[in-house]
Amino acid sequence: MDVTNLESVRDDDFIHAVMEESGQDLTHCYQCGNCTAGCPCGFAYDIQVSQIMRNLQAGRKDKVLNSRSIWLCLSCSSCTTRCPNNIDVARVMDVLRHIARREGRVAERGVTTFWDAFLASVRKHGRVYELGVVANYVARTGRVWTDIDLLPRIAPKGKLSPMPHGIQGRDEIARIFQRYEEERTR
């Protein structure tokens, strides 16, 4: 592994952006590791959440935004709840996803594809149409076997609607997305 030059890897603008958007002061983190200690998803992370925090302090944009961890974070807030410095770590993770999405960096495609399918459904119908989301996800990822084993368990329960529940204000919702996209590209 290369030696990390702390001066040249440091991206102060990035640090500022994360602090600004999350409203959290990264310098408050004293690296006790409690967020990692309680993170239910740590076993699946490539960089533990406390090390994400440390990397943020060092301004290591690429390292953080290219990590898989930020996509696997479950937003469970146990880190936030237990941080001795009252840092809303989950919110920091959220903001990292925002920035990464803006820059088109996604290390866990499957996750964002599912989310995109979800939001597409909301945009179209105003409410999410579960079967449609899964179908869309399967179509986009080609993972045709996704949860096929659950089909016999759920099908007889008569819960999955064959049709979306469109709302009257569908257009209003579509406009929210539209304006959001305009704001973003502005």
Partner 1 sequence: MNLAYYPGCSGLGTSREYERSTRAACTALGVKLTDIPDWSCCGSTPAHALEHALSGALSARNLVGAAKVGCDTVATPCPSCLSNLKTARHRMADDGFRAKVGRLLDQPAEKLADLPDVQSVLETLVTRVGLDAIRAKVRQPLAGLRVAPYYGCIMTRPADVMRFDDPENPTSMDDLLTALGAEVVPFPYKVECCGASYGVTRRDIVARLSGRLLGAARDAGAHAVVVACPLCQMNLDLRQTQVEWPGGRAVDMPVFYFTQLLGRALGVPDAELGLEQLCVDPAIAFRRAAQAVAARQAEEAALAAKAAAKAAQAKQAASANEGGRA
Partner 2 sequence: MRIGVFVCHCGSNIGGTVDVPGVAQVARAYPDVVFSSDTMYACSEPGQAAIVDAIREHALDGVVVASCTPRMHEPTFRRTVERAGLNRYMFEMANIREHVSWIGKDREANSNKAAELVRMAVEKLRLNAPLYPKSFDVTKRVLVIGGGVAGIQAALDCADGGIEVVLVERESTIGGKMAKLDKTFPTVDCSSCILGPKMVDVSQHPNIRLYAHAEVEKIGGYVGNFKVDVRRKATYVDWELCTGCGLCMEKCPSKKSPDAFNEHVGVTTSINIPFPQAIPKKAIIDPTSCRQFVKGKCGVCAKVCPTGAIRYDMEDQVVTEEVGAIITATGYDLFDYTRYAEYGGGRYPDVITSLQYERLLSASGPTGGHVKRPSDGKEPKTVVFIQCVGSRDRSVDRPYCSGFCCMYTAKQAVLTKDHIPDSRSYVFYMDIRANGKMYEEFTRRAMEEYGVQYVRGRVSMIVPQGDKYLVRGVDTLLGEQVEVPADLVVLAVGAESSHGAPQLAEKLRISYDNYGFFMESHCKLRPVETNTAGVYLAGACQGPKDIPSSVGQGSAAAAKVLGLFSRGRLESDPQISQVDVRRCVGCGKCITTCPYGAIEWMELRGEMKARVIETVCQGCGICTVTCPQGAIQLQHFTDNQILAEVNALCLS
Where on the chain is the footprint of ligand SF4 (CB under 6 A)?
29-35, 39-41, 49-50, 53, 73-79, 83-85, 87, 89-90, 93
Residues 6 or more apart whose CB falls under 8 angstroms from that of 148 comprise: none
Residue carrying structure tokens 């602090």 = 19
Place of tokens 């399918």: 117
Q: Does 19 bind partner 2 (CB under 8 A)?
A: no
Q: Helix, strand or coil for residue 54?
A: helix
3-state secondary structure of 131: helix
Q: Residue for token digits 């309680």?
A: 38
Picked from partner 2, partner 1, ligand SF4, none, the partner binding residue 140 (CB below 5 to 8 A depending on kind) is none
Identity of the residue, 15 or 121, whose beta carbon is nearer to ligand SF4 in the bound complex: 15
The backbone region for 126, taken as left when phi is positive above 0, alpha when psi lies in -120 to 50, beta otherwise, is left
Choice from 13, 43, 144, 185 touching partner 1 (CB under 8 A): 43
Q: Do residues 46 and 67 touch, judged by C-beta distance below 8 A?
A: yes
Q: Which of 144, 140, 103 is CA-nearest to residue 121? A: 140
Binding residues for partner 1, rule: CB under 8 A, are: 40-41, 43-44, 72, 74-78, 80-81, 88, 90, 94, 97-98, 101, 108, 110-111, 113-116, 118-119, 122, 126-128, 130-131, 134, 137, 146-147, 149-150, 153-154, 157-161, 165, 167-169, 172-173, 175-177, 179-180, 183-184
Interacting residues with partner 2 (CB under 8 A): 1, 3-7, 25, 27-28, 30-31, 50-51, 54-55, 57-58
